[in-house]
Amino acid sequence: MSSKMNTSDSIYVAGHRGMVGSAVVRRLEKAGFTNILTRSRSELDLTDRNAVREFFSTAKPAYVVDAAAKVGGIVANNEQPVEFLLQNLAIQNNIIEAAADFDTCKFLFLGSSCIYPKMAPQPISEDSLLTGPLEPTNEAYAIAKIAGIRLCQYYVRQKGKNFISGMPTNLYGPNDNFDLHTSHVLPALIRKVHEAKVAGNKEYVVWGTGTPRREFLHVDDLADACFFLLENYDSPEFVNIGCGEDVSIRELAETVCEVLGFQGELVFDTTKPDGTPRKLLDMSKLNSLGWKPSIGLRDGIRDAYAWFLANH
């Protein structure tokens, strides 16, 4: 089966208004695709099975990228596990089933690195899946994503579908969530450092010791990896999508301060929790296929900050 797409092929990007979906749309447009299908939440409720089937039966997308999900930070995940599990299962089940039933030629499901066990060996390879307990604070979301991976694999095995899956690391970039109550570490740092700079503060306080290490991938690199997989990958075995390098939270905070031009001092509040000591994806599988990221952390932060300034 040929994977190469034509620029006139119809491609449905589910979740096109989110950080990931909007980046995928930008990448497709850059490649000259002219038949990109999108539906806002008010136009299509992805938790409504009948509505999703009606859309697929009418639009009949040749390709589908599933970037739709109910997402949130630690607090939201911890306080609403029922909603996170039920809504994410509904969204992905409806899209995957409809893609199978209405003859989508290729389907890309996007999960998350939180699918891996909390204490997985570092860097985390794909075969670490289901080898240990999950991080309790986002377990509901992780279980939904694991179910999505398996459902895609079962459709390949039982129905011969060309369904593939990618597991991104921590993402950042345009359209990120900069709300301090619900955002992840990098957008939160950008916003807090910006506010400290504007206020003329002499110091900036970072939670924890600064020693945990995290991996960050610019969302445009993720979108490029998705495009690469759609064109070049046809295996049900899911692949990690990251940059293969991590930085300490201290190094990350220092880089944000440098890029934003904050001259004050960094202070670490060691009474606050650190979280998992390290989380880095093993990128040997995707690298061996021929894909590597191209946006360095400093340039990526500069880009994310420019978007923040333009939109907040």
Catalytic machinery residues: 141
DSSP string over 36-88: EE---TTT--TT-HHHHHHHHHHH--SEEEE-------HHHHHH-HHHHHHHH
Query: Strand, coil or helix: what is 109?
Result: strand
Residue 173 CA to residue 188 CA, distance in Å, equals: 12
DSSP state of 180: T
Instruction: Give residue 185's Cα distance to chain centre.
Output: 14
Do 216 and 186 form a contact (C-beta atoms < 8 A)?
yes
Exposure string for 2-29, b = 16+ CB within 10 A, e = fewer: eeebeeebbbbbbbbebbbbbbbbebbe
Q: Name the pairing type of β-strands 213-214 and 278-279.
A: parallel
Other C-beta atoms closer than 10 Å to the C-beta of 198 total: 9
Exposed (0-12), middle (13-18) or buried (19+): which is 233, by Cβ within 10 Å? buried
* Bond prior to 123 in cis (omega within 30° of 0): yes
Nearest-CA neighbor of 61 among 22, 2, 108? 108
